[in-house]
Amino acid sequence: MALKQHLAQRLEQRLSPQQIQLMKLLQVPTMELDQRIKQEIEENPALEEGKEEEFDDNQEDYEDDYDDSNEDFDISDYLDDDSADYKTSVSNKSKDDEEKVIPLSSGQSFQERLTEQLHLLDLNDHEFMIADIIIGNLDEAGYLNREIEALVDDLAFSANVMSDEKEVLHILSLIQELDPAGVGARDLQECLLLQIKRKQNGDITRFTALKILENFFEEFTKKHYEKIQQKLEISDEDLRDAVNEIIRLNPKPGGSSKDSAKNIQQIIPDFMVTEFEGKLELTINGRNAPELKVSRDYEQMLRTYSEGGKTSKSDKDAIQFVKQKLDGAKWFIDAIKQRQNTLLTTMQAIMSYQREFFLTGDETNMKPMILKDIAEIVGLDISTISRVANSKYVQTNYGVYSLKYFFSESLSTESGEEVSTREVKKILSDAISAEEKRKPLTDEKLAELLKEKGYNIARRTVAKYREQLNIPVARLRKEL
C-alpha cells in the first residue's frame, strides 16, 4: 500500500490551559481556594499577595532590544500594565491534573481500641492470633460479616494457625464482651441483644426489651406493636418503655468511635444576601477575591536579563524560565478575577430569580429553576453554572443554604400554574410533621391532601418525594 499525502480542513474545539485552570477554580469552595492560592504562591515565586503597585518607570525602559529568530515573545508584554499577547506555550501539566487530597486521620480506630483490650485478657499466643484476625475482619460499624467457616480457612491458609469453628466462636464471644458494647455481632439482632444483656440489672423494663429482641424482633422492626403486646400480655405503658429502651441502643457500635474522630467540615458562605427595606444586597466573601500581584523582583530580573548579553544558552534558559513564571502568575491572577466575576454574575441571577424566597424565607415561594434558566440569563454554559453551584453556599437572613438548594423542577397545579417541586415537598413535610403518630398518613392520604390543595399528584409521585426527603413509610413512622 502506497503512502499518500493530502490536505484537509477541520474545525476543532480545544481548551487552553487558562480555560482549564478557570474551570477548576470555579468548582472549588472557599476553604479549598485558600489552599489553592497558597499552593500556587509556593510553586510560583513570581506570584505574591498584596495590591498591585504603580510603577513610575517609562514603558521604554522595559522594552527588549533582544531580537532572536528562535524567540517569538516580546519582553514588554511582561513588564507593562497592558494585557499581554502570549505566544509561548507553558507547561501546565501539574495544573491540569485532578487534585486529590489524602485526608490524614487522627485518633484511634475501634479496631485499635479492641486490640489494646485484648492484652488485658488471659490469652495465649494461639488465641491472641485468632482474636486479632477476627478484629481485623470487623467492618466500620463493628459487625462481623464473614462466616465462621471462612475465618477458619483464613487462619489456616493465611496465618498458618490451625483452629476449628468451636474455638473461633469461643474467641468471638470474648471479643463481644469488650467495649464498645455490641461490637463483634453478626447481625443487628445480636448487636442489640449484646447491649441489652449487659445493661440487665433486674429492671423489668429491660427484661421486657430483652424478650422483645429475642422472640419478636421481626414484629419489632415492622412495628407490629399490637402483636407484641398481645403475646407478652403487657400494658401500653410497659410496651412504650421497653421500646424506648431498645431505641436508645446503638445499632452501629463501631461507628461511635469513628464518628468521634471524624473531622467536622466547616461551611464558609461564599455569598451573603441581606434584605433592607425590601431591597436585596449581594456581597461576596472576601476570600473569593484575594489581592494578588506579579512580583516586582521577577519583572526586574527579566529586565536585567534583557539588558545584558544573551548569547549563551544559559541566559536564554533563564529568560525562558522567568517568562514562564510571569506567564503563570498573570494567568492565575486573571483566573481568580474571572472566577469572582462569574460567581457574582451567577449569584445575582439566582437572587433575582428567587427574589421572593430571599425576602420571606418561605419555601412555598420558591420558583421552579433549572441550570438552563440561569445559564440563559448570564450567557454562560450550563456546565459552568453547574460548577459555580457545586459546593457553594450563601448566607441569608433565614440561614445558610447551598446554591443547589435553589434549583428544582417544575410542577403544574390544577389551575395551570407552574410551581416548584420544593414547594410541594415542603407541604408534604409539614403534613407528615403534623400527623398523628399513632395513625400516620399513608401515601394515598397524602396524595388526597395535596389534591385538596390544588396539587394533582399521583401516589407514586408522593412516594418518590417522600423518599427524597428521607421519610419512611407510614407503618415505620408509627409511634406508641
Domain chopping of the chain, boundaries: 16-51+264-360+371-405, 110-175, 188-249, 410-477
What are the C-alpha distances in Å from 409 to residues 27, 421, 464, 465, 471? Answer: 23, 6, 14, 12, 20
Instruction: Evaluate the omega torsion of the peptide bond into residue 17 and state whether it is cis, within 30 degrees of 0.
Output: no
Q: What is the pLDDT of residues 212-224, one digit of tens each?
A: 999 999 888 888 8
Q: Would you tell me which CATH number, out of the four given (1.10.10.60, 1.20.1250.20, 3.50.50.60, 3.40.50.970), belongs to the domain 410-477?
A: 1.10.10.60
Question: What pLDDT sits at residue 190?
Answer: 92
- The DSSP annotation for 229-290 comes to HHHHT--HHHHHHHHHHHHTS-S-HHHHHHHHHSPPPPP--SEEEEEETTEEEEEE-GGGS-
Helix (H) or strand (E) holding 48: strand 47-49
pLDDT of 423-436, one tens digit each?
Answer: 788 888 888 888 88
Q: Identify whether the C-beta of residue 425 lies closer than 8 Å to the C-beta of residue 388.
A: no
Query: d(Cα 171, Cα 295) in Å, to the nearest integer?
Result: 66
Give the strand pairing for 393-396 and 292-294: unpaired
Give pLDDT tens digits for 72-131: 545 555 554 444 444 444 445 554 455 555 555 455 677 888 888 888 888 898 899 999
What's the average model confidence in pLDDT over 269-275? 88
Q: Is the dihedral of CA 357, 360, 361, 364 positive or negative?
A: negative
Mean pLDDT of the chain: 78
- According to the model, what pLDDT value does residue 195 have? 92
Question: How many angstroms separate the CA atoms of 243 and 437, rounded?
Answer: 15
CB 377 within 8 A of CB 388: no
Residue type, 435: E
Q: How far apart are CA 147 and CA 165, in angstroms?
A: 10
Q: Is the pLDDT of residue 29 over 70?
A: yes
- With CA atoms as reference, report the closest residue to 105 among 304, 287, 258: 258
| Cα–Cα nearest to 266, from 1, 25, 32, 4 | 32
Average pLDDT over residues 34-46: 82
Residue 294 has pLDDT above 70, yes or no: yes
State the pTM of this model: 0.54
User: Would you tell me how many other CB atoms lie within 10 Å of the CB of residue 404?
Assistant: 14
Tell me: the pLDDT tens digits for 349-380? 999 999 988 888 888 788 888 888 899 999 98
Residues 405-416: tens digit of each pLDDT: 888 877 766 665
CB 62 within 8 A of CB 76: yes
Q: Which residue has the higher pLDDT, 53 or 20?
A: 20
**In which residue are the cell numbers 487534585 written?**
99
